[in-house]
Amino acid sequence: MMKKHLNMTIATVLLLQVGTAGLALAEDAKPLAGQHLSVLLPPWGTLPKEMTDGFTAKTGIILDTQTLGWDDIHTKIVTSTVANTAPGDATEVDWSWVGQFGASKWYQPLDGLVTADAVADAPTAKIFTYDGKLLAVPYNNDFRVLIYNKTQLEKAGIKTPPKTPDELLKAAKAIKEAKIATYPIGLPLSATEGTSTTWYLLTKAFGGDLFDKDFKPMFVDPQSGGYKALSFEIQALKDGLIDPAMTGLKDVEVQELFKSGKISFDVAGWAGNLAVYADASKSQVANDVAAALMPSTTGSTRTIGLPEAIGIPAASANSKAAAAFINWMLEPETEIGSFNALGNLPPRLSVLKQLNAKGGLKDGDVLLAQAAAVEPLFAQGTPGWYPEFSAAVASAINQAAKGQLTVDQAVQQVAEAAKTASQE
């Protein structure tokens, strides 16, 4: 009996040792397990819970996700940082904020914290570099493309999508006259960022640019692309082709109208949104949606890339956990899941090509052709005063749309705002 008892004791000790070793290995595999990570992203960047649960299962990190509108996120980041607190451990970093955040040193450099090969596979990551340091990593490959309701065009007798701004107006008038859609053209005119970026895009469509190499405004001349772009918007509004309610709508609300079939053209369509529009569980026009290259007056399509990324605020107390989340967002499976769930085109080229090769991209050939024509909004790099400039643009366009300013007064107001912002 003593020998049997001794053997059982030895076996128990061995089992305890094995169990302890296994626990240690598990802890080594999840060194950040139990940490709480706050993530602040807009609706189009917030992944569904079933996906983020996978991140928690893999790392043991507990996510606290907060979703806010794009403008609200920027406000929170500024106010929190000024108060020396972190708005989140990992947050949205828009392409347009890089100059401001970089100059202020509000975000931690990610060099050495994120997978270098994955970053190299995402060309737009360069947009988020300031003074040679990587401030954020893109989670979407955002550029603009013309998205339209092909069924509505066909009903109006239009066989091909418009290739020029004039053709776009003619198509919209035909659709309106046929009483297929009351307000065929969808674009935001509220005092928000989406209004500004739509004007930037149309400036390219009219063959123009915002500034010269010295940041001198190039949109005040009536023959300039920027002037013609704003004239296009205001004239379409006066002609009843754009709903007057657009003066109070953001870009995401315009997208909802397209999903419901109330508008025929999403003029500044997010390329990734094409997948959302074609999803019958999310859209009423799933069988009607199509994409075309952005119309242009020059004969060659032009568009702008406006990627969004995730960065780590300097005040974050959980930078390692935040870096783990960013690396997880870069994984092919996560990028494909984000595309399927939210329509975010993968920023990694290898993943984008993989999707297209398997037929996973709606109108993939159009998207890849448009992607090849993507231009940065600022060839010199986004200036630190961009937020002030863009806010002035949105305000002036909103005032012009409400009849409070003429086109000439609006562009002059924007030019003066650019001069003031660049000198501060």
What range does the domain containing 113 cover? 35-139+307-369
Whether 296 and 327 share a structural domain: no
Q: What is the pLDDT of residues 165-203, one digit of tens each?
A: 999 999 999 999 999 999 999 999 999 999 999 999 999
Whether 162 and 280 share a structural domain: yes
The Cα–Cα gap between 38 and 312 comes to 11
In a domain, 134, yes or no: yes
> What's the CATH number where 106 sits?
3.40.190.10
Whether 158 and 135 share a structural domain: no
pTM of the predicted model over 0.85: no
Compute φ and ψ for 378, nearest 5 degrees: -120, 110
Whether 217 and 235 share a structural domain: yes
E strand or H helix at 371, and its extent? Answer: helix 364-371
Whether 134 and 149 share a structural domain: no
Whether 50 and 173 share a structural domain: no
Whether 98 and 234 share a structural domain: no
In a domain, 65, yes or no: yes
Whether 133 and 207 share a structural domain: no
In a domain, 23, yes or no: no
In a domain, 377, yes or no: no
Whether 249 and 232 share a structural domain: yes
Q: Is the dihedral of CA 174, 179, 182, 186 positive or negative?
A: negative
In a domain, 78, yes or no: yes
60 strand-pairing partners? none
Residue type, 134: L
pLDDT interval class at 381 (50, 70, 90)? confident
Q: What is the pLDDT of residues 6-52, one digit of tens each?
A: 343 334 433 334 344 343 334 456 888 999 999 999 999 999 999 99
**Cβ neighbours around 279 below 10 Å, total:** 16
- Computed over every residue of the chain, the mean pLDDT equals 91
Overall number of domains in the chain: 2
List the structure tokens of 232.
């296009």
In a domain, 1, yes or no: no
Residue type, 399: Q
Whether 244 and 162 share a structural domain: yes
Q: Is the dihedral of CA 102, 107, 108, 112 positive or negative?
A: negative
Helix (H, G, I), strand (E, B) or coil at 10: helix
Task: Output b/e per residue, 327-355; b: 16+ Cβ within 10 A.
Answer: bbbbbeebbbbbbebbbbbbbbeebbeeb
Whether 222 and 242 share a structural domain: yes
Whether 154 and 133 share a structural domain: no
In a domain, 29, yes or no: no
In a domain, 13, yes or no: no
